[in-house]
Amino acid sequence: MDEAVYSCLNLSPTDIAFLQRIEKQMPIVSDISRADVLVYCLKSAQEAVVVAQARPHSILPVYASDLCGRVVSPKDEPHVFQALCHGRAGRGHLVLIANGAPVVQQVYPIRNQAGAMIGAVSIERNHIEHVRHLRRSKVFQRAVTQLQHMLLQGQITGAENLSPFGEHDGILVVDIGWRVRYASGIATNLYRKLGYLDSLIDRRISSLEREDETMVTQAMQEMSCKEREAASGDRILIRKAIPLLAQREWRNRLRRLAGLPPLEPVLVGAMLTIHDETEERRKEQELKVKTTMIQEVHHRVKNNLQVIAALLRMQARRITSKESRRILEDSVNRVLSIAVVHDFLSQHSSQAINIREISRRIIQQTEESTLDPTKGITLALEGPGIYLPAQQATACALVINELLQNAVEHGYVRLPGGTITIRLEDHGDQVEIAVTDDGQGLPPDFSLDQVESLGLQIVRTLVQDDLRGEFELLNGHGVRAIVRFPKQTLGGK
């Protein structure tokens, strides 16, 4: 609920708590009414503010944005002020155009236990949907009105635990005698798939699925909303049961004038909504299978790369030439840096890879296999987690490995040791990776354009061709290697 509610006129903590209770019950009313639901409270004599809002999942909302905190005047919302100031419900057309149609507004006052106005509920749907609603069964229209009036009293107990109601969900309205009085077209088609070919109207709920009777019975007996998932044949159905209460409005209005407490509402039936989850679960299962297969492929690739690295290590141990051994060891590190990416993908279902985690593993790998403990070189990692697609992350792994190995090998030849830092920076649409050492720096005649180092040539190629970025080396108190490249959207090219 918007913080503005705490500065509204004449609202006690109990009133605010009641409004918060109503707010929790608004989503299901918005979904079934196929309308936006707004709650207004008086901020001053000439100002009202939106303190709560619910947008439907069953239809495109009237308002695409959040209106909480919006302040209106009597000129902007005359029906809202009639409800807030005089306790009168009202209906009208708003000037606002939503999806090519004007908006129909129904406003009701919200009263506290003492009968004082503490807010107003505005139920707003586009004109096309309003006309469709008027063409539906009178039984359904009455059930929706009962649900809306229950909202004003905060009587939709358990509504906060219900999942959203979607546009492809079916609806049954059952009366107090457990007979179906209304079945939407979607519900009718769904029950036909379950084998109920005759009309559902006037059927006892006990003649349908056992879960239907159980849900409706529990909702009416406990006067609380229920939701349950259950299999019906080869289908997975999610049911919601909402008890329907009829308010004794005219009698309560007279009793309020006489100073008498209001009469309790009367239970008149229940609304049963049905969502077919079968297709979604099938797709989820297919996705799990595909994800598992992909992870297994990455796991095998990682294992194969580690085997190749082991073979190269064996070969390096048999070579007497220090130069040849160094070349093979560099190749081992390159292979293992790629294996790190596949290892990450084999353990995570997402194709988004955190290059901070990749950098951490490369540092660990370097400390275990390359770094001479007698040199006194410390490796550090700074910066946030940055998630990149697998292709970019693989190139980054190779770049980070090459720059790190280059700093370890050349930065401290004539020095006792120091610190090499990998720093990651996320600039929104661009990523910057900097590998900095406090070593001896670059030779005076160094030129990146004429460099003969295979490692730096690999970095330049990867940055320019794969990452579409820039690479530079800065000399100072050591060397700072900087790579900048545009961040590729996940799933993009």
The two tokens of residue 48 are: 């009202």
> What does the pLDDT read at residue 375?
82
Strand blocks (E) in 184-337: 226-232, 235-246, 266-276
Q: What is the pLDDT of residue 167?
A: 92
pLDDT digits over 48-80, tens only?
999 999 999 999 999 988 999 999 999 999 999
Strands 478-486 and 266-276 turn out to be: unpaired
Q: Is the pLDDT of residue 43 over 80?
A: yes
DSSP class of residue 205 equals G
Q: Where are the domains of the chain?
A: 1-135, 138-144+153-276, 278-349, 370-493
Find the mean pLDDT for residues 389-402: 86
The mean per-residue pLDDT over the stretch 335-339 comes to 78
Distance CA 388, CA 402 (A): 19
Query: Which residues 6+ apart lie within 8 Å of 309 measured at CB?
Result: 332, 335, 336, 339
Section 330-350 average pLDDT: 74
As a whole-number percent, the residues of the chain with pLDDT over 70 amount to: 93
Residue 17, CA atoms < 13 Å, CB-side half-sphere: 4
> CA 326 to CA 340: how far, in whole Å?
21
Confidence band for 96, pLDDT divided at 50, 70 and 90: low
pLDDT of residue 101: 67
Q: Which two tokens stand for residue 465?
A: 């061709």
Band the pLDDT of 98: cuts 50, 70, 90.
low
Residue 223 — φ and ψ, nearest 5°?
A: 55, 45
Is the per-residue pLDDT at 331 higher than 90? no
Q: How many CB atoms lie within 10 A of CB 361?
A: 18
Candidates 27, 57, 244; CA nearest to 143 is 244
> How much is the pLDDT for 77?
93
> What's the pLDDT score for residue 493?
45
Would the pLDDT of 128 be above 80?
Answer: yes
In the chain, helix, strand, coil percent, each to 5?
A: 45, 25, 30
Residue range 93-112: average pLDDT? 79
Q: Is the pLDDT of residue 183 over 60?
A: yes
Reported as a pLDDT band with limits 50, 70 and 90, residue 452 is low
Identity of residue 407? A
b/e burial code for range 100-132 (CB count within 10 A of at least 16 → b):
ebebbbbbbbbbeeeeebbbbbbbbbbbebbee
CA 459, 464, 467 angle in degrees (round to 5)?
90
Ranges 68-82, 164-178, 235-249, 346-360: which has the least confidence = 346-360
Q: Is 228 left (phi over 0), alpha (psi -120 to 50) or beta?
A: beta
User: Using one digit for the tens of pLDDT, what is the confidence trace for 264-304?
Assistant: 889 999 999 999 998 888 888 887 777 677 667 767 877 88
Asked if the model's pLDDT at residue 439 lies above 60, the reply is yes
Distance separating alpha carbons of residues 93 and 128, to the nearest angstrom? 12
pLDDT (0 to 100) of residue 305 = 78
- The pLDDT of residue 422: 94
Please state, in angstroms and rounded to a whole number, the distance separating the CA atoms of residues 107 and 86: 12
Instruction: Give the three-class secondary structure for 62.
Output: coil
At residue 391, what is the residue type? Q
Predicted confidence at residue 253, as pLDDT, reads: 67
pLDDT at 188: 96
pLDDT at position 491, please?
54
Average pLDDT over residues 116-124: 96
237-264 tens-digit pLDDT:
999 999 999 987 666 666 666 777 777 8
Q: What is the mean pLDDT of the chain?
A: 88
User: Quick one: pLDDT at residue 370?
Assistant: 74
- Give 100 or 401, the one with higher predicted confidence: 401
pLDDT at 348 exceeding the cut of 80: no
Under CATH, what is the fold of the domain 370-493?
Answer: Heat Shock Protein 90 (3.30.565)
| Mean pLDDT lowest among 317-326, 421-430, 464-473 | 317-326
| Residues contacting residue 172 through CB under 8 Å, at least 6 positions apart | 180, 182, 183, 184, 187, 200, 205, 212, 271, 272, 273, 274
Residues 369 and 411: beta-carbon distance below 8 Å: no
Count of beta carbons in the 10 Å neighbourhood of residue 189: 12
Kindly report which listed range (39-48, 108-117, 441-450) carries the lowest average pLDDT score: 441-450
Token look-up 């700093």 returns 407
Can you name the CATH fold of 138-144+153-276?
Beta-Lactamase (3.30.450)
* C-alpha to C-alpha distances, 36 to 28, 31, 105, 347, nearest whole angstrom: 11, 8, 10, 43
Same fold, 1-135 and 370-493: no
Q: CB–CB of 462/398 below 8 Å? A: yes
CATH 3.30.450.280 assigned to 1-135: yes
